[in-house]
Amino acid sequence: MNRAPAATILVLEDCDEDFETVLDAARLAGVTYNFRRVTTGDECIAILRDCAQAVAPVLVLLDLNTPQGDGREALRYIKEHERLRSVPLVVLTTSANPRDLDFCYDCGANAYHVKPVRHNEHLRVLEEIFYYWLRAVALPQEQEALTWKGNSPAPSV
């Protein structure tokens, strides 16, 4: 781990089972970051608006089809916001619609994954995401200087 443990992973996910799977995968991958879950796009934007003043998350996982302001709006907000723009943003959705795919990459999403129905595959995709975005990839350094003041508890790993 080359990041401060205080840093947080923001997850927009309205489905409890899918969020559980995220946590399962994090456990399997040995992720030590705190997870902050939001279930609507609006909530996601509200949280980010606060943290834009202070510290940004190390990774954002976005589901697209969520109630009350969906993942697309959150995606647009993040990529249009200067201080959030460089935060790795991974779209995780059930939609294989090429329109969604085009939209997300047009807005600047860093990756787009279709959630597999097979649980094993689902876990593996998530583990690979964590491995890649939290360990393998090199990201701008200034991210490290920021401190996440999020108050959500870290998952019990």
Among 1, 30, 80, 97, binds another protein (CB under 8 A): 97
Name which of 39 and 93 has its Cβ closer to another protein: 93
Name which of 120 and 156 has its Cβ closer to another protein: 120
Is 157 a binding residue for another protein by CB under 8 A? The answer is no
- Closest of 67, 64, 87, 73 to residue 45, by C-alpha: 73
> Which residues within the stretch 128-147 sit at the binding site for another protein (CB under 8 A)?
none
**Per-residue binder mask for another protein (CB under 8 A), 45-74, x = binder:** --------------------x---------
Among 28, 46, 54, 96, binds another protein (CB under 8 A): 96
Q: Helices 16-29 & 119-131, crossing angle to 10 degrees?
A: 50
Residues 80, 72: contact at Cβ < 8 Å? no
Strands 89-93 and 59-62: parallel
> Which residues within the stretch 107-126 sit at the binding site for another protein (CB under 8 A)?
115-120, 122
Among 32, 86, 94, 152, binds another protein (CB under 8 A): 94
Name which of 96 and 157 has its Cβ closer to another protein: 96
Q: Cα separations (Å) of 99 from 70, 90, 118?
A: 15, 17, 24
Q: What is the CA radius of gyration of the chain?
A: 14
Distance, in Å, from the CA atom of 108 to the CA atom of 103, rounded to the nearest integer, reads 9
